[in-house]
Amino acid sequence: DGGITQSPKYLFRKEGQNVTLSCEQNLNHDAMYWYRQDPGQGLRLIYYSQIVNDFQKGDIAEGYSVSREKKESFPLTVTSAQKNPTAFYLCASSIGVNTEAFFGQGTRLTVV
């Protein structure tokens, strides 16, 4: 099956700990994205990558880090510097930056 997979679906962490969210795609897409979704708000872009070994900050990159060592993978690390990390995180990919984005099923991160 072709698609984009996020894991885990639910994640719990203690405050002050770094945590990494996984995102893998087998669609052969060049572009990948990370979004954050909070209740009552639109999706906000954290980071995006147009090609392997390159990525750009989005609107709310502070407290997050990413890597793009492989075309298929774009992991997101939520660091302890992120002041309010509890949220629903969505990963997406697209052929190019101006084409349809396909989303994963999301990871709900809860920091206690």
Partner 1 sequence: KNQVEQSPQSLIILEGKNCTLQCNYTVSPFSNLRWYKQDTGRGPVSLTIMTFSENTKSNGRYTATLDADTKQSSLHITASQLSDSASYICVVRSSGGSYIPTFGRGTSLIVHP
The residue ranges that bind partner 1 (CB under 8 A) are 6, 40-45, 48, 58, 88, 90, 92, 97-98, 100-106, 108
Q: Shortest approach of partner 1 to residue 16 CB, angstroms? A: 27
The DSSP line for 40-96 is TS--EEEEEEEETTEEEE-TT-TTEEE--SBTTB--EEE-TT-S---EEEEEEEESS
Q: Judge residue 65's burial from the number of C-beta atoms within 10 Å of its C-beta, 0-12 exposed, 13-18 middle, 19 or more buried.
A: middle
Q: Shortest approach of partner 1 to residue 29 CB, angstroms? A: 14
80 or 106: CB nearest partner 1: 106
Q: Shortest approach of partner 1 to residue 70 CB, angstroms? A: 21
| Cα–Cα dist 14/110, whole Å | 9
SS3 call for 98: coil
11 or 43: CB nearest partner 1: 43
Do 50 and 31 touch, CB atoms closer than 8 A? yes
7 or 18: CB nearest partner 1: 7
Q: Shortest approach of partner 1 to residue 93 CB, angstroms? A: 11
43 or 52: CB nearest partner 1: 43
